[in-house]
Structure 1
Amino acid sequence: MSDQKDPATNEAITTQARKLALENAVKYHGKASFGAVIGKLLHNNPSLRENLNTIKPTVQRIIDDVNKLTSAQQQQELHRINPEFEKEQAEKKENNRAARKELPPLPEAKRGNVTTRMAPEPSKYPHIGHAMSFLINYLYAKKYEGTCILRFDDTNPEKEAQEYVDAITTDVLDYLNITPAKTVFVSDAMETYYAYADKLIKTGNAYTSTQTPQEMSADRRAMRDNPEREKPITTIQEEWNRMKAGDYPDGTITLRLKISMQHKNAVMRDPVIFRICSTPHYRQGTRYKAWPLYDFACAIQEHIQGVTHVLRSSEFDTRIELQNHIRSLLGLNNPYTKQYARFNITGALTTGREIRERIESGEYTGWDDPRLVTLRALRRRGITKEALFELATIIGMSRTPSSIGFETIATINRRILDNTAKRYFFIKKPTRITINGAPRTTITLKNHPTKDLGTRTLTVSERLLIEEADAPLLNQNKLVRLIDFCNIKNKTYHSDAYDAFKGKGTSIIHYLPDDPSQLINTTIIMPDATSITGVAERNATALNEGDIIQFIRFGFCRLDKKEPNHLTFYYAHN
């Protein structure tokens, strides 16, 4: 009876408090927190709040007792009390990680009835920014068991080329391994755009204009009507037909929507929807001369393809109203538009024109130059598609602008590769050493410290190669460990077992046999496009081009080129 009145002496409560203290201590480096323990105890037993002053000293005493234990003792006692604790924590951690990888819910999305689109303009090689847009649209379609379309917005003959179509197709289908439901070329629907333009003219919602871009801009700033708005429909139709026939030189006439030159959104002030361009189109040739601008073609395509959700960066914010207005004039369906914040890629050149100029000048080696963040450059360096998928979920639909540095990508990629990449030895500046008394033996090394990725062998002896930077470590009268071989002191063999090194040694270094038959010349292309030449173990010749490995104490690298007596890698990151 007294136990029920005095919770401080209730065995069930004190046992629970000790369990909570042990759990908290194990989670936080051996020191349990009073606030965390008492908070959890009260959460589990709300009635204790009535006797809080009574229970506090008991909880504090339990915490003090637990904190006096060593970490090993805390773990042993907790395992006796709660054998499932470690498993529960691992599952909780994995669930939290999985939650971070989940995209937030998509408004107005119904399972099995979501259609998104990846809509690149084929005017440059895609970079990581394009990849994020592609993946966000693709992953949402996948999340809701819908479809995702690859749509080439190719109505600008002056900028677009088959070269870029091929590059985007390769990067999307091959590297990112995305399979769109179908591939669409916007320029294939020119006759449809013409028909819709005819409809706008007949309903008095479009007119032809001979204003120059400068005159249009001045009128928009002044919110001043263009007298051409009052042309008779018959005149507009005649001039429009001549536009389609190619009777006008480039830049002399346009077709504009008639909305309002006093609209608060400047984009809505009688925007141009068609222009004359006689440049041959990479796909349509010289068949068409009047070309739709992006907003007009895009607005119609969303309807034609049944797109339910448009997911794009906030740079298009002012254009949503225009595209919805075009569809409303034509009686077409408006998709749900969701925008995410535009992000900047720090320290990277992404402008297609500037990149091409540097390639043509010889400054860059190509669109896969390691200094770039094009998809083919990232792929060549060893950035996995899984890393880009995860980055897309992190960016998700955030409305907060952000900057992404390469280190962010590297952090994700490193965690992925750490579980899958085989380990090898590479020495960039070999220095010969002799280890007095070292045995000649064949050692077996695991290709991965924890995963079953096979083994490899090296035949070693007293003659070895080590990194030049490691040489001073051998003259300090301290125990040094040669990975999976032996322990040495002052260049003299000391012992084999790692236990003899543990707690006594200072450094663990890698090495290679001083034996040309076990070595292969190796070049590693670095992120700044410079190269490092050294030697790697010949076991690396078993790799295939494209394999990503870790050179121990150097970094993750992707095998780019394999020759009989030479390997070339690209450095990914440390």
Structure 2
Amino acid sequence: MSEEKSLNFIEEIVEADLKSGKYSSIVTRFPPEPNGYLHIGHAKSICLNFGLALKYGGKTNLRFDDTNPVTEDTEYVDSIKDDVRWLGFEWAEERYASDYFEQLYGFAVQLIQKGLAYVDDSTSEEIAMQKGTPTQPGTNSPFRDRSVEENMTLFAEMRDGKYKDGEKVLRAKIDMGHVNMHMRDPIIYRIKHAHHHRTGDTWCVYPMYDFAHGQSDAIENITHSVCTLEFIPHRALYEWFIEQLGIFPSKQYEFARLNMTYTVMSKRKLLQLVNEGFVNGWDDPRMSTISGMRRRGYTAPAIREFCDRIGIAKRDNLIDVGLLEFCVREHLNKIAVRRMVVFDPLKVIITNHNGETEMLSSENNPEDLNAGNRDIPFSNELFIEKDDFMEVPSKKYFRLAPGQMVRLKSAYIIRCDEVVKDAVGNITELHCTYIPESKSGSDTSGINVKGTLHWVSAKHAVHAEVRLYDRLFKVEDVGNAEGDFKDHINTDSLEVIPNAFAEPALAMDSAEDRYQFLRKGYFCLDKDSTPEKLVFNRTVTLKDTWAKEQKKS
């Protein structure tokens, strides 16, 4: 009997709240800002929020924090919805902070009427100076004591578009000497004359994140508002607004964000990589975006398993990307169909073969008894990998060499009889004989060989481009590396093999299939593929070779 997995600290809180009767059911939310594509760090938050609701019979809202019209776009909204669904989750309600603009404006008016907010004409630089420092209290704005009536008039005029961007802001009136800098009269509304992706030009004043977030949670009756550790200093303000407005008492809880080796998790940095041409778009298979990982061939169950394994903690730590790759390998080993693809071909002529095509059978996946078999054409002209032949072999070389025998996977044993070279001494082809009695599955030859090679029939081979992706950065902890993060980009993160040869079954497979190219790694079909030329992305190698290579260098 397997040991039951222990609860993480947020699950303990939820269970205590349900047991005490504080809530009859829970409501969580995933609240991305639609200013970029989601990355693997967001996947952790998605799995946590949706996972809590699934485990405890609650619901999760997908709420877009669209309070900054300058950086937001419907392209990002659509990509976020695609990613959440691809990960295997469905939200109860699709909401937007912009749905609440009128209510949020009304909340701001309430604060003004209670003498808890004021319009400030100070510049951003002046406000920063007024804030003081963590060790020195701030100073009051000269506009802090405006009357309720004057603030009401000015705030209405801000909404009506009377003032330019930055000319005025609305600030909460709390305490300029507060030990928490976020409580020193924070800005809650600013003027932005910008077109909004949903509300158009209706608004020119927009709430700040700290003002919109907690109130949006309250409007939706969110019971457990889960965010990352950097929001701990914001919690006091979150609770202050809710208390002063007398609205549903949503509660904020913080957990450690995902930091992963050889990876950046900042939307700002990811946008730089895209805009400056270091990668080919947000879904480049080297990106840490969910869409990039999806294009690379990572599977949703593997990402969910990874998020489950790393758990939910209260302290930041650096997770080895090798764990993610391990989870991907584990899942792909179970579901990937096996295929043979030759990257660097060397022609083999079977001299004692009659030239007629013979169809051989090979298993699709030895890990899946229901995967069945496929037909593979065998002829007198084959391709093997160049590095599977050595003219002068070392003592323990078990692949093909003059006079040496190997087995061709799911086919026959062959022996190399002659090496053919061109005028300058390059090997152009091998002449071999095959042992007819050595057919896989019905071998009566009595011959034992130690080497098994993958191969394709030259007459039936399908042309393919193969893209070998590696880690985008050379240093383990990119966030703490010296200099600009772009200085640490791995310039060898992509190798393109333009003319590989694949067995014909690959041309008939589904675009959703995952593959193990025998002896090469796990691959998937790329969106750049055409019927005339298949394009495959390496998802992950068969084994973790990266760590070994780094130790050598």
What count of residue pairs does the alignment treat as equivalent? 477
CA deviation after TM superposition for structure 1 residue 130, in Å: 1.6
CA deviation after TM superposition for structure 1 residue 349, in Å: 4.4
Distance in 1 between the 2:451 and 2:229 partners?
Answer: 51
Structure 2 partner of 1:22: none
| Other structure's SS at 2:253 match | strand
Structure 1 partner of 2:336: 421
1:458 to 357, 367, 376: 376
Structure 2 partner of 1:105: 11
Structure 2 partner of 1:167: 79
Cα–Cα, structure 1 residues 237 and 538, in superposed 2: closer, same or farther, change >3 Å?
A: same
| 8 A Cα contact 1:435 1:493, kept in partner | yes
Q: Does 1:206 align with 2:117?
A: yes
Cα–Cα, structure 1 residues 186 and 344, in superposed 2: closer, same or farther, change >3 Å?
A: same
Cα–Cα, structure 1 residues 502 and 524, in superposed 2: closer, same or farther, change >3 Å?
A: farther
2:366 to 449, 458, 468: 449
Structure 2 partner of 1:158: 70
| 8 A Cα contact 1:435 1:463, kept in partner | yes
Distance in 1 between the 2:517 and 2:60 partners?
Answer: 39
Distance in 1 between the 2:445 and 2:115 partners?
Answer: 88
Structure 2 partner of 1:563: 530
Mean Cα deviation higher: 358-367 or 444-453: 358-367
Distance in 2 between the 1:503 and 1:321 partners?
Answer: 77
Q: Does 1:294 align with 2:225?
A: no
CA deviation after TM superposition for structure 1 residue 500, in Å: 8.6
The higher-RCO structure (CA 8 Å, 6+ apart) is 2
1:148-173: per-residue Cα shift (whole Å, max 9, x none)?
00000011111111221122122223
Q: Does 1:573 align with 2:527?
A: no
1:243-292: per-residue Cα shift (whole Å, max 9, x none)?
22221111121111111111111111111111111112111112112211
Structure 1 partner of 2:422: none
1:62-73 maps to which residues of 2 (within 5 A)? Answer: none
Cα–Cα, structure 1 residues 192 and 503, in superposed 2: closer, same or farther, change >3 Å?
A: farther
1:340-419 maps to which residues of 2 (within 5 A)? Answer: 340-360=255-275, 362-419=277-334
Distance in 1 between the 2:6 and 2:510 partners?
Answer: 34
Structure 1 partner of 2:144: 229
Structure 2 partner of 1:6: none
Structure 1 partner of 2:473: none
Structure 2 gaps of 5+ residues are: 391-398, 417-431, 470-492, 542-553
Distance in 2 between the 1:105 and 1:506 partners?
Answer: 53
Greater share of helix: 1
1:84-143: per-residue Cα shift (whole Å, max 9, x none)?
xxxxxxxx5xx36x8489997341343960110010001111111122212210111111
Q: Does 1:137 align with 2:49?
A: yes
Distance in 1 between the 2:176 and 2:7 partners?
Answer: 46
1:548 to 514, 517, 520: 514
Distance in 2 between the 1:331 and 1:421 partners?
Answer: 55
Structure 1 gaps of 5+ residues are: 1-91
Structure 1 partner of 2:160: 245
* Code of the aligned partner of 1:211: S
Distance in 2 between the 1:176 and 1:433 partners?
Answer: 45
Mean Cα deviation higher: 344-353 or 329-338: 344-353
* Code of the aligned partner of 2:461: L
Distance in 2 between the 1:475 and 1:162 partners?
Answer: 59
| Other structure's SS at 2:335 match | coil
CA deviation after TM superposition for structure 1 residue 185, in Å: 0.9
Cα–Cα, structure 1 residues 118 and 442, in superposed 2: closer, same or farther, change >3 Å?
A: same
| 8 A Cα contact 2:8 2:312, kept in partner | no
Q: Does 1:186 align with 2:97?
A: yes
* Identity score, percent: 31
Distance in 1 between the 2:303 and 2:440 partners?
Answer: 42
| 8 A Cα contact 1:478 1:505, kept in partner | no
Distance in 2 between the 1:178 and 1:378 partners?
Answer: 17
* Code of the aligned partner of 1:470: D
Structure 1 partner of 2:461: 519
Cα–Cα, structure 1 residues 137 and 262, in superposed 2: closer, same or farther, change >3 Å?
A: same
2:409 to 472, 480, 483: 483
Distance in 1 between the 2:201 and 2:331 partners?
Answer: 49
| 8 A Cα contact 1:370 1:529, kept in partner | no
Mean Cα deviation higher: 361-370 or 347-356: 347-356
CA RMSD of aligned residues (A): 2.6
Cα–Cα, structure 1 residues 523 and 204, in superposed 2: closer, same or farther, change >3 Å?
A: same
CA deviation after TM superposition for structure 1 residue 497, in Å: 5.9
Distance in 2 between the 1:442 and 1:238 partners?
Answer: 85
Cα–Cα, structure 1 residues 524 and 196, in superposed 2: closer, same or farther, change >3 Å?
A: same
Distance in 2 between the 1:503 and 1:293 partners?
Answer: 76
Larger Rg: 1
Cα–Cα, structure 1 residues 282 and 192, in superposed 2: closer, same or farther, change >3 Å?
A: same
Mean Cα deviation higher: 211-220 or 139-148: 211-220
| Other structure's SS at 2:307 match | helix
| 8 A Cα contact 2:87 2:300, kept in partner | yes
**When the two structures are superposed, what TM-score results if normalisation uses the length of structure 2?**
0.80
CA deviation after TM superposition for structure 1 residue 234, in Å: 1.8
CA deviation after TM superposition for structure 1 residue 183, in Å: 0.3
CA deviation after TM superposition for structure 1 residue 401, in Å: 1.6
1:532-547 maps to which residues of 2 (within 5 A)? Answer: 532-533=497-498, 534-547=500-513
| Other structure's SS at 1:181 match | coil
Distance in 1 between the 2:199 and 2:169 partners?
Answer: 20
Cα–Cα, structure 1 residues 503 and 297, in superposed 2: closer, same or farther, change >3 Å?
A: farther
CA deviation after TM superposition for structure 1 residue 510, in Å: 0.7
Structure 2 partner of 1:21: none
Cα–Cα, structure 1 residues 401 and 360, in superposed 2: closer, same or farther, change >3 Å?
A: closer
| 8 A Cα contact 2:211 2:238, kept in partner | yes
Distance in 2 between the 1:309 and 1:106 partners?
Answer: 12
**When the two structures are superposed, what TM-score results if normalisation uses the length of structure 1?**
0.77
Distance in 1 between the 2:7 and 2:276 partners?
Answer: 42
